[in-house]
Amino acid sequence: MRKLSRRHQENIQKTKNKIYSSLDEAIEILKETSNTKFVESVELHANLNIDPRYADQQLRTTVTLPHGVGKQLRIAVLTNEENFAEAKNAGADIIGNDDLIETITQGNINFDLLITTPNMMPKLAKLGRVLGPKGLMPSPKSGTVSTTLETTLTEFKKGKFEYKADKTGVVHVSFGKSNFANNQLVENLQALYTSIEKNRPSGVKGKYFKTLFICSTMGPSIKLDLTAFA
């Protein structure tokens, strides 16, 4: 068993057996325990009362946080040549059609997000095994299949991103960096919680949220009381 560092042991003691009903206090301790030599990401881990095996209990949607997540996306666009200029002007990093499909087929994926126009989806079908496991397969539900490239690219460049519950019903999602201002992290966390609540699957019966935790990359888990969002 790996021995915990003194830093991590001290951080655990600060949060052990504590439940925070104030987002301001929770973020304060989150930043206090984000004390490595690099800028850590901060994440929400929401355990939901859902069973994603059923279609009416799946959670997959997009959100744009007020202050972004501190990451600049590299976006690729798959479309017809007549749309290349529009995509380029809107900030696409990679643009192509059949040549881009061939590049992806060869395993050369140097982008964080793939946006496509509907007419290209049939050509993408064969790439499901390549893009699917990486979470890069475009879909209308995630907003990455679009007929309005300029609007879509602008939204994602501003920080829009997709998140979903895993097969156990847990949402793991970043809501910023440890060097964000406290109020920025609070506002991002509130927006993310609201998005999860708003997109509650129709098949959920009774209580939706089981537990909520936040943490930094190398920090301890910080448990939140649901009343913190009331």
For the stretch 135-160, pLDDT in tens is: 899 998 889 999 999 999 999 988 89
80-95 tens-digit pLDDT: 999 999 999 999 999 9
What domains sit in the chain, N to C, each tagged with a CATH number? 17-69+161-229 (3.30.190.20), 75-151 (3.40.50.790)
How confident is the model at residue 142, as a pLDDT?
85
Report CA-CA distances (Å) from 43 to 193, 210, 221, 228.
12, 17, 10, 16
Q: Which of 92, 27, 41, 116 is nearest to 71 (CA)?
A: 41
CA dist 4 and 230 (Å) reads: 36
pLDDT of residue 11: 65
Q: Is 202 helix (H, G, I), strand (E, B) or coil?
A: coil
- Report whether pLDDT(67) > 70: yes
Closest CA to 61 of 130, 164, 205, 156: 164
Asked if residue 210 has pLDDT above 60, the reply is yes
Q: What percent of the chain has pLDDT over 70?
A: 95
Question: Does the pLDDT at position 8 exceed 80?
Answer: no
